[in-house]
Chains A and B, each alone.
Chain A
Amino acid sequence: MTTQYWPARAAPFLRRRVYWLLILPPLLFLCVFFLIPFAFAFKISFADSTIAIPPFTKLFSVTPDGHYALTVTLDNYRYLVTDDVYLLSYIFSLRTAFCSTLICLLLGYPMAYGIARAPRSTQTILLLLIILPFWTSFLLRVYALQGIISEHGLLNNLLLWLGLIHTPLRIMHTTLAVYIGIVYSYLPFMILPLYATLEKLDVTLLEAAADLGTPPWRPFLEITLPLSLPGVIAGSMLVFIPAIGEFVIPSLLGGPDSLMIGRVLWDEFFANHNWPVASAVATAFLVLLVGPIALYQHYQMKDQAPS
């Protein structure tokens, strides 16, 4: 996500007016279909919900005596603070995303390290194997996971056959299944940036340290790990960001108590038809979580750009 580029010399052939032929189509498209929609969500978060199509009241109206009237309600936001379900789902989403990112890191780091240390020819094959799932359907992969962890799935059958357990484990429809689902779906995102930094590491530094008669874990902790920190941060962001707004995984694998914010939003919209509250939840989510992440990335990109 940290794409770096440097603006080349200003093109001599492109005159100012020609510039805009390039810039305007993507700029206008993104304004209309990405930026302005947020303004509408913000606006509707101050409306009242009614039973109508569309199910919200108008903010601006003309009164019978010809005056313009502005009707704004803060009830939707008050609702967010007073009803526990929203606060709990924020906390649950944060905790789930944080823990699954950590599990991804613990599993992904040794994998990336192994790939980076493997012979060149094996490296290419291993990398392709890590990238390929990224290209296969996310929804279908989450569905495929059910065949492993469901009550009569492969895992339970195997454990029963081995005699390790006597009754099937209940993994499906629990929070554990959500963790497994997130790690399964986003593991490649963690491995790729980790591999990119580990592969560039100067092995001679490590060898020098190892030569000096230290135990083998010391050079790892004191040299490799600190040097690979940029990869750790990049990979963790790539897992944490999609995990926090995840809907498909808690909906298909999680139980009724796996209330992640994405699921609460979906229900508010499709089950309760309360569009104004959904808009308020979305606005709060954006301001509280996405905003800080975007700012962090923006400054990180700026820091890296000159190097």
Chain B
Amino acid sequence: MSARLAPGLIAVLTFGLAFLYLPIFVLIAYSFNASALVTVWGGFSAAWYGKLLHNPQVLDAALLSLEVGMAAATSAVVLGTLAAVALVRIRRFRFRLLLTGMVHAPLVVPEIITGITLLLLFVSMAQMFGWPKHRDFLSLVLAHISFCMAYVTITVVPRLASADRALEEAAMDLGAGPLRAFMEITLPIIAPALISGWLLSFTLSLDDLVISSFVAGPGSSTLPMVIYSKVKLGVSPDMNALASLIIVLVGGGVVCAGWLMIRAELQRMRDRQLSEQG
């Protein structure tokens, strides 16, 4: 691998990265603009951030989004991991093809179609069984689980497939039950995949506009729904502040989590090398 890149490649890389990051930096810069006119720089001010704290619509929506995100991500990790364990550890079972298909399909089906079909499901169920009466928190969580699960399963499957089965079998030879062997041996090994699956689900849920718009009833608006309806009318300075806040918080959180995970992984590799040498 040559150490020096051709100037043309460096130029394309610089352009591409600038294209990816410039809009975000510009957005953050303008969120500190004192002027209410988005395009005119009126001096530095954090006033728009203060305004957000007094906007009950935004605060309610943010709270709902966080609650839905936590509930959906946690349930998706449980269900997605169960599916991954079934697919990796059980060679043959009835409905295997069906489960494989349904785990991968949400990645191919456009959100708007998932949204419409889920709304029709909830409406038809309400017609037939009288449930759910209102489309609110629960319908949002159920809808979000259904698209987050796929991401958890495809994150966990490779990790589980590469996990050393001998460790689990050794634990069982020493008298541990299958459940205990799984909880104490396999679960710690696949934990990084579970954490990334949870984080991925949480950010996807927090970001979802299309599916939420269909399955949320009147009165339960998530944060992306509020942002979309405001942004549809044009660029607005308080939305710049809100968007910057979310990007910095989520981006920072992801970078920290990633850094911690890489560090833990490196530590484990070093420990293993040491134990092999010792």
Given contacts A6-B161, A140-B227, A147-B27, contact A132 B251 (CB under 8 A): yes
Contact with B along A45-56 (1 / 0, CB 8 A): 000000000100
Among B89, B109, B178, point to the contact of A290 (Cβ < 8 A).
B109
List B contacts of A37 (CB < 8 A). 114, 117-118, 120-121
List A contacts of B193 (CB < 8 A). none
Q: Helix, strand, loop or mixed for chain B's interface?
A: helix
List B contacts of A26 (CB < 8 A). 79-80, 82-83, 86, 99, 103, 149, 153
Among A38, A141, A293, point to the contact of B117 (Cβ < 8 A).
A38
Task: Check: A41 CB closer than 8 A to any chain B CB.
Answer: yes
Task: Check: B194 CB closer than 8 A to any chain A CB.
Answer: no
Contact: A27 with B95, CB < 8 Å? yes
Contact: B207 with A34, CB < 8 Å? no
Given contacts A14-B178, A245-B112, A294-B108, contact A33 B118 (CB under 8 A): yes
| Interchain CA distance A196-B57 in the complex, whole Å | 44
Rounded to whole Å, the gap between the CB of B174 and the closest CB of chain A is: 13
Residues 66-106 (chain B) with a chain A CB within 8 angstroms: 78-80, 82-83, 85-93, 95, 98-99, 101-106
List B contacts of A203 (CB < 8 A). 1
Among A23, A114, A136, A148, point to the contact of B99 (Cβ < 8 A).
A23
List A contacts of B103 (CB < 8 A). 26, 30
Counting chain B CB atoms within 10 Å of each CB, which of A36, A38, A113, A251 scores highest? A38
Task: Check: A129 CB closer than 8 A to any chain B CB.
Answer: yes
Task: Check: B124 CB closer than 8 A to any chain A CB.
Answer: yes
Interface size class of B (residues with CB under 8 A): 35 or more
Task: Check: A1 CB closer than 8 A to any chain B CB.
Answer: yes
Total cross-chain contacts (CB, 8 A): 275
List A contacts of B232 (CB < 8 A). 251-252
For residue A248, which residue of chain B has the nearest CB?
B209
Contact: A22 with B102, CB < 8 Å? no
Contact: B247 with A137, CB < 8 Å? yes
Rounded to whole Å, the gap between the CB of A180 and the closest CB of chain B is: 9
List B contacts of A119 (CB < 8 A). 1, 3
Contact: A33 with B247, CB < 8 Å? no
- 23 of the cross-chain contacts (CB-CB < 8 Å) are A3-B104, A5-B87, A8-B88, A26-B99, A33-B121, A34-B106, A44-B120, A111-B12, A111-B13, A111-B16, A114-B9, A118-B5, A129-B20, A137-B246, A141-B24, A143-B235, A143-B239, A152-B38, A191-B16, A203-B1, A252-B232, A270-B213, A290-B108
Chain B residues near A (Cβ < 8 Å): 1-3, 5, 8-10, 12-13, 16-17, 19-24, 26-27, 30, 38-39, 78-80, 82-83, 85-93, 95, 98-99, 101-114, 116-118, 120-121, 123-124, 127, 142-143, 145-146, 149, 153-154, 157-158, 161, 165, 172, 178, 181, 199, 203, 206-207, 209-210, 213-214, 224, 227-228, 231-232, 235, 239, 243, 246-247, 250-251, 254-255, 258
Chain A residues near B (Cβ < 8 Å): 1, 3, 5-11, 13-14, 18-19, 22-23, 25-27, 29-38, 40-41, 44, 54, 107-108, 110-111, 113-115, 117-120, 126, 128-130, 132-133, 135-141, 143-148, 150, 152-154, 184, 187-188, 191, 203, 241-242, 244-248, 251-252, 262, 265-266, 269-270, 275, 278-279, 282, 285-286, 290, 293-294, 297-298
